[in-house]
Structure 1
Amino acid sequence: MLVSPQTPSQSFVGIGNVIKSFVRLHEVSGDVACLKMGKKLFAYRSILQVNTVNFALMSEEDKDALIEGFKAFLNGLSFPIQVLIKNRPYRLDEYLQSMEAVQGDLAEVARDHADFVRQLASKRALVKRMFYIIIPADDATAKNQAEALINAQTQLRLRTEETLRQLERLGLTGHRLTNKEILTLYQSSFVSDEAKQFPLSDSLIDGVDRLMVSELEANRPRLTQDDYLTKFRPEDSDDEGTKKSGKKAQKKAPPKKKSKIPEFVSIPELVSPSTIQVYPWYIRIDGEAGQEYARTLAFVNYPRSAYPGWLDAIIQVDEPYVDFSIHIAPLSPQEVNNRLGRKAIEFRGSVLASARQGKSPDPTTAIALQDVEGLREKLARGDERIFTLSVFVQVRGRTRRELSERNNRLTAAIRSLDFRALPAHWQHQAGFLSCLPDGDNQLGRGRLFGTSSASTFYPFTGSDISMETGVMFGLHPSGGLIILNPFNSKELENANMVVFAKSGAGKSFFLKTTTCRLLPNCNVYVIDPEAEYNHLCERVKGQYVRLSPDSLQINPFDLYAQPATPEGLATAEQDDQGGEINFFREKLLNLITLFELLLSDEGILPQKEKAFLYRCLVKTYANRGITMDSTTHSRPAPNMQEFYVILSSALRGDHRFGVGEDTYGLSERLERYLHIFPAKTRVALDNRFMDFNIRELNETLKPLGLFLITEFIWTKMRQARQSRVPQPNTIVLIDEAWLLMQFSQGAKFLAEVARRIRKYGGGLWCTTQNSDDFLGSEEGRTILAMATMKYLMKQDSTTIESVMRTFRLSPGQRNFLLGARRGEGLFATKIWTPMEVVASPKEIEMANTTLGAFSQNQRNQEDQHDLLAELASNETILPPTQPSNPSPSTRIVSNRTTQPTNGNGATPSGSQGNPLEHLRN
């Protein structure tokens, strides 16, 4: 019987054999990776993780500037570096589980979103890209390994800091990997899936080179070296005679067979797979979760010319499990000059030989001679340097078929750029080692490049801003999900966001879908000027608050009691000097801002009028027994009707309050608005989603409603924070914020909220379609500066120039915004990245504005509820009046009832009664 021959292979079975042949990592200490390159030869590496820039959307001038900066970076290199780029698929298991674990009213929508993301992942690769720079230390021969490690740590610290400074000049940022991050990187380099499924825990890392102990022993205080010396003294051991007799006994005793004692758990064992098999066309890696097949491609042929940033087209390929390893090694100018001289002689000889034979010189040889001579001249002037560049691509797959298909797609992408990459047949072991973060090029295949040609290999392209946890904000065009947690303080400075878009660009759809995904873990309060969130509020069982010209639903005089603070314990509210802020004084200033919006023509009142209002406000609160003392702030708050009585008291001949006569006409201006302020607030922030609808307010009352709602939410957020009970995070969403930004005092208040809302676990999200009005004020620019997240959607040609100047956009980004489709835009936390808003079918149905608002029956029920709440809160407490003869036209308004008075201060028959009859001392 004929048997087909087996494929020749070399198997490294067992962790010991795999470590000996593949794992160079020996130790991690002080953020330095110690590699064992031989029996007594060690090398040390520092690893940087680098953030990228979106090279494709940059203007030609910016691209040229970036390439020139990269040239300077290369010319400044005095040591070889390795650039490692890892394309890994998104691990959606945790995200999908978190969505499917949502309970209650949002469960159906969350499960539909999870199914949508799962289908999306099955149709296209969702790739996450990570960029690293491996920096080596100089090889040094030190007899003491500890001394060599200390010297390497010092040298690597200086080289790392200098590299980071050079990267900052390119507009890049990065950070140095810690010990645990280095181990995680090595683990993902050997077994990519297991690094996500079974990450290295702190307890596993702490168990390296140590004995395993019980938890009781681990929690006991450990003995120091002095304790050991004290406990185990030399005199406690055997005496000299016993030692001698023991030695004699040992000499007489027969020799014992020595058994090998196992070592402790080592660092290489944490990252090593169980088996690696080397085949001619690939290597097979067997780990705990399964096997992987890996193949290394080496760039061997390069075209005559290439445009700068050509590598971006390959790096951004929509393929996971692909690693790119670029080894850059500067060469000595003298050595290179001698080699180039020999090449020039060869080319020149070929040209002379052709001339002697009467033949025309070969154009290729003549051009090559010119290139060599030009490069020698640049080397002599110091304008360029020569580097050895080696580019490797490592392709992985769970099966051999998957490996072959991915390899063919990647090879086709490389060939489309007129480059050629060949598999490292019979050398996949060396290729695998060359793609590890060791900074060691085992495969070779290097080519000579000058600085100008080497700069076209600029690798730091892309714009991945996703986090490990959060919710999906959108989709990246290259296939990645943009998952963000707005309240992740380690990644983001704050949770503030601004959204600029023209009408119909899809900004409301984006905000509805995003806030709905955040609802299970945070509260969302929406100020809705166009009634676009009614349907969403109904679907999520939120609280709907309708503000109308008949009632603004909120008593602006509401206070909250500040809890007592133990001595020595600082509260969350502290000013710059560390003292406690007087909430009552701040409330008075906010009310002054309210009256400026209400009573002024352009949002500004003269100082004398504001001083008069301030005196009346203090007297109004004092009538309720509320003073600067925080212990009085829990008493019932006054209302606008009481304030009006005190404001107009002197006009009615009542001088008991001592506020003076209203010579400014403030009471006359305020009187027409009294009916819109209830005696007590009819809104309670007891729902995770609240929709404040201000569509029915006219242009005069809309800014007032915006301010009133924002100040109310701001007050309640601070009250919740002061309760010292863990509270969920809060999103305050102000749609069309430019309505409030038109007034200087409203803009100042909004800017103050943007500065301070982070301290209360909240985020301010402002949207506008009128960017010029928003950016035209200093406060608007402050809100923009305080927003960590920015989203620019489709812009109009009339506003694109101001947006371009404000955000310093390139012409490419400008054209992208002008031609963006509905739902597309540029999103930024630190860098700009294209983002497309996508949603599941049920999310689309829920976020669709055209589905209508509440039913009329529900609207009528809410109107009845408002009326009952108003009647229940119909209480006004004021001091008794002294006998006076006010003008017959003077009216004293209590709540929403306006009653004329006669000369004796009594109401006509059949009226509700004069509120002054119920005044107390």
Structure 2
Amino acid sequence: MRLRNVLRALLPTRTPPPAAPSAGSQVDAVAALIGPASVEVTPRYLKVGDGYTSTLLVNGYPAEVGAGWLSPLTGWPGRADVVIHIEPLDPQVAASRLRRQRARLESSRRSDAEHGRLDDPTTEAAAADAADLADRVARGASRLFRVAHYVAVHATSLEELTESVAHVRATAASVMLDTVAATWRQLPAWTSTLPLGVDSIGMRRVFDTDSLAAGMPLASADLPAPLPGDPPTASGVLYGLNTATNGIVWHDRWAADNHNSVVLARSGAGKSYMIKLETLRSLYDGVQVHVIDPEDEYRRLAEAVGGTVINLGAPDVRLNPFDIAADDRRPDARTRRALFAHTLVTVLLGAGQDGGMQPAERAAFDQAVNTAYLEAGITNDPGTWARPAPLLRDVAAALETDGPPPAVTLAARLSPWTTGSFSHLFAEPTTTHPVGHLVVWSTRHLADELRPAGMLLALDAIWRIVDAPPATGPTSDPRRLVIVDEAWTLLRDGEGVRFLNRLAKAARKRRAGLSVITQDAADLLGSDLGQAVIANSATQILMRQAPQAIAAVADSFHLTGGEARMLLSAQRGEGLLLSGANRVASHAVSSYREHELCVTGTDPQDES
């Protein structure tokens, strides 16, 4: 049957004015523009063009429905059009019908009582519901509507159509919706699912306002899409597929309130795999990525995309914390270096049994730093900042030279990092400068006593790049993502957490985002500074959690009971993405080439 014949039967024809084209030619033009060449009608399906479609009618509903009760159908992972026809009932007609319905129910109840029969629970419940609905309609708190639900299932072959129809019917039955095929009425049923506003079937049921509103597809298990009229997002990353609807989870951290994220997961949950996928896809989007890599997991990825790998702890790698960028013209640049030196030394000494610096030692250290800068010819004049900066051993020598007893004691405490076993990282001027679209700072070869300090030095070098003023204007500065993997190494130190907190707060104004990944939730959730890092992260990703930590995680992130249970039983690669008031469960997916670059270890099935 030609589609124009179908449209002729549906669209009203009017006598046009003499100068206007005929209604038939208008219908033919519309059919040629939007419709298939032909429609083949059979009792249980239609062949529309090159595809097949079958329409199901919803003829049974549960006694009670909850919010989003149509979501299983609207989110079905296939091509299915869910159509709702709504016709409001006149309040007077609605009141009259409710009155007759209540009279029938009351008559049944009285008849049962007169004949000594037991009360029928179904009749009692229906009578109570009818009385409540009549009261709400009378007060104007609710209205009645005649509603029809139709589902048009599409497929490319007849076998696929049969399988899809069975799947849709099973999905509807899971929420107690009864469906039937529109046998011998497939053509009017299909036209009832087209955007024509015509219901040729008329299989309707009466709904009240609350039940109808609960079924509207206004809420979804997916992240919200741009509103109609808003431009689509220009960037973002594919995080995976929605575990509930199989839809795409596409999130743009750069469109959130801030660009930071926190990832919490137990060991083996697949967090590093997911972060490497995010890193690779962020590079596609033109983002510069800096990674703190304690386990040397990102080397293969960096080499594949032409990135830079800096091996902290290698014999030829040196970092001098006292360097001042020659192009930095801020008047407090030298003061900033001195303050960072305080943080670094506190982290170094905090790794030992004696703890950080005492107040007298801190004062002596500050004076020694200024002395070392002056001896190197560096003052507060920016013209002197291009000169070679002093080293940590120069500061220790200034402490020993005519210093008070606290200064001499501090110099002795610093001896392992100035002249002892751990001095190779600070013994020479800086030999490595981070450049490139992907820079990986590997700390695997550092001793445990140097690893927190190495991570702090890497973060400081990255921050100096992020904090540098753009060359031609604020909009020319590229977006930068700073990833701190296995952040528990740094979180165990108070100064390290403070540095991360400052970085999280200041990154947004510099078009940068901080991503903190840790498997030890207690270190992040157990301190005020760790909670501050979470509070300054608009994107939060939770993956499988240990039973011992789930209570603290659920309390900190306000998880429901179902979400907490989901995190306890999540498979590798599954997680819960939280962004503001939105949250969605997803499973990481990758192409074969991405999987090769992101998998950890030699077993290709190690992560997925």
TM range, smaller chain: 0.7 to 0.9
Residues 1:834 and 2:585 aligned together: yes
> What residue in structure 2 maps to residue 683 of structure 1?
432
User: In the alignment, is the contact (CA less than 8 A) between 2:400 and 2:411 conserved in 1?
Assistant: yes
Are 1:283 and 1:428, in contact at CA under 8 Å, matched by a contact in 2? no
Contact 1:414 1:421 (8 Å CA) reproduced: no
**Distance 1:536-1:361 versus aligned 2 partners, 3 A rule:** closer
* Residues 92-150 of structure 1 deviation map (CA, whole Å, 9 limit, x = unaligned): xxxxxxxxxxxxxxxxxxxxxxxxxxxxxxxxxxxxxxxxxxxxxxxxxxxxxxxxxxx
2:82 paired with 1:300: no
The residue matched to 2:414 in structure 1 has which SS? helix
Q: After TM superposition, list the pairs within 5 Å mapping 1:797-876 onto structure 2.
A: 797-830=547-580, 831-851=582-602
In structure 1, which of residues 473, 482, 501 is the aligned counterpart of residue 239 of structure 2? 473
Give CA-to-partner distance per residue, 1:716-773, whole Å, 9 cap, x none.
3334744769565433221221222222222111111112223333322211111111
Task: Please state how far the C-alpha of 1:602 moved relative to its aligned partner.
Answer: 7.5
2:369 corresponds in structure 1 to: 617
- Counterpart code for 2:481: I
Cα distance between partner residues in 2 of 1:662 and 1:734: 35
State the alpha-carbon separation in 1 of the partners of residues 349 and 107 from structure 2.
93
The residue aligned with 2:25 is: none
Could you tell me how far apart the structure 2 residues matched to 1:695 and 1:825 are? 27
| Structure 2 counterparts to residues 462-541 of structure 1, below 5 A | 462-464=221-223, 470-477=236-243, 478-486=245-253, 489=254, 491-520=255-284, 521-540=286-305
| Alignment coverage as a number of residue pairs | 570
Partner of 1:590: 340
The answer on whether the counterparts of 2:290 and 2:483 sit within 8 Å (CA) in structure 1 is yes
CA distance in 1, matches of 2:35, 2:3: 13
Deviations 1:437-470 (A, max 9, x none): x8x9897644223456546636423124686754
Please tell me the root mean square deviation across aligned C-alpha atoms, in Å. 4.4
Amino acid at match of 1:501: A
Asked which structure has the greater RCO (Cα within 8 Å, sep 6+), the reply is: 2
Partner of 1:668: 412
In structure 2, the residue matched to 1:697 is 446
Give the letter for the 1:558 counterpart.
D
Matched-pair contact (CA < 8 Å) for 2:144–2:207? yes
How far is 1:810 from its partner?
1.2
- How much has 1:803 moved relative to structure 2? 0.8
Contact 1:496 1:786 (C-alpha < 8 Å) held by counterparts: yes
- Relative to structure 1, the CA distance from residue 637 to residue 285 in structure 2 (aligned partners, 3 Å threshold; closer, same or farther) is farther
2:392 to 637, 640, 647: 640
User: Match of 1:649, as an amino acid?
Assistant: T
Query: Does 2:76 align with 1:317?
Result: yes
- Structure 2 CA distance, aligned partners of 1:528 and 1:633? 31
Distance 1:680 1:453 in 2: 72
User: What is the one-letter code of the residue matched to 1:448?
Assistant: V
Q: Distance in 1 between matches of 2:427 and 2:416?
A: 14
* CA distance in 2 between partners of 1:355 and 1:662 (Å): 97
Q: 1:334 to 1:518 in 2, by over 3 A?
A: same
Aligned equivalents of 1:452, 1:293: Cα separation in 2: 35
CA distance in 2, matches of 1:361, 1:801: 47
Measure how far apart 1:396 and its partner are: 4.3
The one-letter amino acid of 2:249's match is: I
Whole-angstrom distance in 2 between the partners of 1:608 and 1:327 = 79
Query: Could you report, residue by residue, the CA deviation over 1:802-823 in whole angstroms, capped at 9, with x for unpaired residues?
Result: 1111111111111111112222
Structure 2 residue aligned with 1:121? none
C-alpha distance 347-716 of structure 1, shift in aligned 2 (>3 A) = closer
Say whether 1:544 aligns with 2:278.
Answer: no
Give the Cα–Cα distance (whole angstroms) in 1 for the partners of residues 433 and 30 of structure 2.
Answer: 54
Q: Secondary structure of the equivalent of 1:553?
A: coil
Q: What is the one-letter code of the residue matched to 1:473?
A: Y
1:360-371 aligned at under 5 Å gives the runs 368-369=126-127, 371=129
Q: Distance in 1 between matches of 2:122 and 2:551?
A: 49
- Tell me if 1:715 matches 2:476: no
Deviation at 1:638, TM superposition (A): 2.6
Paired residues for 1:649-668 under 5 Å: 649-651=401-403, 663=407, 665-668=409-412
The CA distance in 1 between the partners of 2:246 and 2:239, in whole Å, is: 14
Partner of residue 628, structure 1: 380
**SS across alignment from 2:548:** coil
Q: Which residue of 1 aligns with 2:491?
A: 741
Aligned-partner Cα distance in 2 for 1:608–1:592: 13
Given that 1:302 and 1:419 are in contact with CA atoms closer than 8 Å, whether structure 2 keeps it comes out as yes
SS of residue matched to 1:850: coil
Residue 546 to residue 431, structure 1, CA distance change in 2 (3 Å): same
Q: Given that residues 302 and 420 in structure 1 are in contact (C-alpha distance below 8 angstroms), is that contact kept between their aligned partners in structure 2? A: no
Deviation at 1:503, TM superposition (A): 1.6
Gap change, CA 1:355 and 1:511, over 3 Å in 2: closer
Alignment check: 8 A CA contact 1:273 1:285 kept:
no
Once the two structures are TM-superposed, the CA of residue 591 in structure 1 deviates from its matched residue by: 1.8
Distance in 1 between residues matched to 2:137 and 2:81, nearest whole Å: 33
2:192 corresponds to which of 431, 434, 459: 431
Give the alignment of 1:758-769 within 5 angstroms: 758-769=508-519
In the TM superposition, 1:255-404 aligns within 5 A as 273-275=33-35, 297-305=56-64, 309-320=68-79, 322-326=80-84, 335-349=93-107, 368-369=126-127, 371-377=129-135, 379=137, 386-396=144-154
1:794 partnered with 2:558 = no
Q: Secondary structure at the match of 1:524?
A: strand
Q: Which amino acid aligns with 1:393?
A: V
Q: Secondary structure at the match of 1:716?
A: helix
CA distance in 2 between counterparts of 1:766 and 1:661 reads 40
Q: 1:283 to 1:614 in 2, by over 3 A?
A: farther
CA–CA distance in structure 1, aligned partners of residues 11 and 51 of structure 2? 18
Partners of 1:8 and 1:355 in 2: CA distance: 61
Whole-angstrom distance in 2 between the partners of 1:10 and 1:723: 60
Q: Distance in 1 between matches of 2:77 and 2:108?
A: 46
The one-letter amino acid paired with 1:682 is T
Q: Deviations over 1:504-524 (max 9, x none)?
A: 222222223332343453433
Q: CA deviation at 1:829?
A: 2.8
Q: What is the aligned partner in structure 2 of residue 218 from structure 1?
A: none
Secondary structure at the counterpart of residue 668 of structure 1: helix
Q: Is the 8 A contact 1:620 1:642 kept in 2?
A: yes
1:781 aligned to which of 531, 555, 577: 531
Gaps of 5+ in 2: 22-28, 226-232, 604-608
The answer (yes or no) to whether the contact 2:317–2:432 under 8 Å persists in 1 is: no
Counterpart of 2:319? 554
Q: Secondary structure at the match of 1:448?
A: strand
SS in 2 for 1:673: helix
Partners in 1 of 2:332 and 2:376 — Cα distance? 18
Counterpart of 2:502 in structure 1 is 752
> 1:661, 1:359 → 2: CA distance?
101
* Matching residue's letter, 2:389: A
In structure 1, what is the Cα distance between the partners aligned to 2:120 and 2:411? 98
Counterpart residue type for residue 668 of structure 1: A
- How far apart, in 2, do the equivalents of 1:617 and 1:558 lie? 12
User: Which amino acid is 2:321 matched to?
Assistant: P
Cα distance between partner residues in 1 of 2:34 and 2:595: 48
**SS at the partner of 1:527?**
strand
